[in-house]
Structure 1
Amino acid sequence: MAGIKGLISAIVQFLTDQLQDGDITADSRESLEVAIQCLESAYNVQASDAPANFNLYQAYKNTVDNAAPNLSPEASAETKAEAERLKNEGNALMKQDKHHEALANYTKAIQLDGRNAVYYCNRAAVHSKLGNHALAIKDCHTALSIDPSYSKAYGRLGLAYSSLEKHTEAKESYEKALAMEPDNESYRNNLHLAEDKLASLRFVREHLPNLHGVDLSTLLSNPALMNMARQMLSDPVMQNMVSNIMSGNVEEGARMEVLIEAGQQLAQQIQNTNPELVESLRRQMGDNPDDPEPPQQN
């Protein structure tokens, strides 16, 4: 039982660490908290009971990374040549934006030579173009199981995760890609973008958890609002403002004024560019000026 308790406490530790991650929704956070409480109660353990210097996630990653890939039999030289021809043709089709045709070519190449990581990575690029990000992730992982040092596969994996708003996974992927290609500016820029998005999520969670009873996680699920917020956060003045708040350079008494100013700027931008969204938000918050006055309570 001691071994089982050690495993459960390691799971509790992992779930507790996830609560500190900015890349998590309010609903997921609540579910994790319930799961932690259930495990602690059922097994009478706490996160602090986990074995010292043991990281459950890293242990899992090591197992997966070191697992032998389930590869198809080695292709003949003639078959490899045909697969390479199909891949090159697929590359040409990609340049012509003929994505579905390119996808068919890469798939045929994989069927002929399933041990070539490039074919999976190229097909992942097509999947991303077509919006099939989950399939892109699967192909990137297959490519990396064949060639763990394939930096481009990590880069495309980061892109797919970013597209699914999984910024923690995207950050990890770009870090690995950059470690293999330290001079690659694209990987470095994408890594910074993932880090910025995680920082923004943490800032919202820690400093703006609720506004007059309105759950901001619900508001921020609005694509139009999130797009405007991202555009606003890309402004150097706003970035400096947020950076000062998060770093503690703004005095406690002045932080609310800064937050109010930031909110006013965002509200003005939304009002100017998308008044329909403003009306939608007002209805969501019960602040529609066209609604009748609420009845007086005795």
Structure 2
Amino acid sequence: MADKKQRLVYSVIDFLNESIADGTVKEEDKESLEVAIQCIGEAFGVDPDNEEQAAKLSIKPATLLNVFDVFLKTRERTQASPTAQAASTSAGPSSPSAANKGEADKLKQQGNALMSSKKYDEAIDAYTKAIDLDGSNPVYYSNRAAAHASKNDHLAAIGDAEQAISIDPKFVKAYSRLGYVHLQ
């Protein structure tokens, strides 16, 4: 657990240092921010200048901004249609209709063809539409994870692979996707 917190602190420090370097922070605020970085690092036992610690704690190629962006996109998706969510929760869990399952499978095939053509954004859209029609099929999440991984959006790929696993813990391909992303 300490490693998880230290990784977060390392990411915050990395973000703050990048903000100093790229000019996001005004010149007159740099010294204050450098002091804050030092205090935060000492409080959590994180030294960004320690190469061994940096290798252990860094989340690169992801950044804190990437992680936050994935969080915001996920939250937007889950809050996109409050009326639809209210209807689904009040009526209880429902299975997709046969028509929705058929359409979702067509969208998956479309996504697969787009992946073969290296049109990753379009493939992600196709898989997302399939998920909207049938969110109970782990294959759609797993395939979307592959598309995200192909774009080097590893955090989104991890989220989709984990979702596929939560739907079907025996779905081996999702573990493969997750392992691939963690190796990147």
What is the TM-score when the length of structure 1 is the normalising length? 0.33
Higher relative contact order (CA 8 A, sep 6+): 2
Q: Find the counterpart in structure 2 of residue 235 from structure 1.
A: none
8 Å Cα contact 1:72/1:115 also seen in 2:
no
Q: What is the CA-CA distance between 1:77 and the residue it aligns to?
A: 0.7
With over 3 angstroms needed to count, the CA separation of the structure-2 counterparts of 1:32 and 1:95, relative to structure 1, is: farther
Q: Which has the larger radius of gyration?
A: 1
Within the candidate set 151, 161, 173, 1:130 is matched to: 151
Please tell me the root mean square deviation across aligned C-alpha atoms, in Å: 3.3
Query: What amino acid is the match of 1:120?
Result: Y
Q: Are residues 1:121 and 2:142 paired?
A: yes
Q: Find the counterpart in structure 1 of residue 100 from structure 2.
A: 79
- Equivalents in 1 of 2:175, 2:43: separation in Å? 28
CA deviations 1:194-240 (Å, max 9, x no partner) are: xxxxxxxxxxxxxxxxxxxxxxxxxxxxxxxxxxxxxxxxxxxxxxx
Query: Within 5 A, what are the aligned runs for 1:252-291?
Result: none
- Equivalents in 1 of 2:94, 2:162: separation in Å? 19
- Equivalents in 1 of 2:110, 2:43: separation in Å? 47
Q: Find the counterpart in structure 2 of residue 144 from structure 1.
A: 165
Q: Find the counterpart in structure 1 of residue 183 from structure 2.
A: 162
Equivalent residues, number: 111
Within the candidate set 130, 142, 161, 1:109 is matched to: 130
- Equivalents in 1 of 2:9, 2:146: separation in Å? 31
Identity of aligned residues (%): 44
8 Å Cα contact 1:136/1:160 also seen in 2:
yes
With over 3 angstroms needed to count, the CA separation of the structure-2 counterparts of 1:158 and 1:33, relative to structure 1, is: same
8 Å Cα contact 2:9/2:44 also seen in 1:
no
With over 3 angstroms needed to count, the CA separation of the structure-2 counterparts of 1:78 and 1:161, relative to structure 1, is: same
8 Å Cα contact 2:145/2:177 also seen in 1:
yes
Q: Are residues 1:97 and 2:115 paired?
A: no
Q: What is the CA-CA distance between 1:111 and the residue it aligns to?
A: 0.4
What is the TM-score when the length of structure 2 is the normalising length? 0.52
- Equivalents in 2 of 1:121, 1:158: separation in Å? 12
8 Å Cα contact 1:140/1:153 also seen in 2:
yes
Q: Which runs of 5+ in 1 are unaligned?
A: 1-13, 36-69, 164-298
CA deviations 1:60-119 (Å, max 9, x no partner) are: xxxxxxxxxx99631011110110011011111111112122111101000000000000
With over 3 angstroms needed to count, the CA separation of the structure-2 counterparts of 1:131 and 1:79, relative to structure 1, is: same
- Equivalents in 2 of 1:140, 1:158: separation in Å? 9
Moved over 6 A (4+): none
Query: What amino acid is the match of 2:116?
Result: K
- Equivalents in 2 of 1:141, 1:96: separation in Å? 26
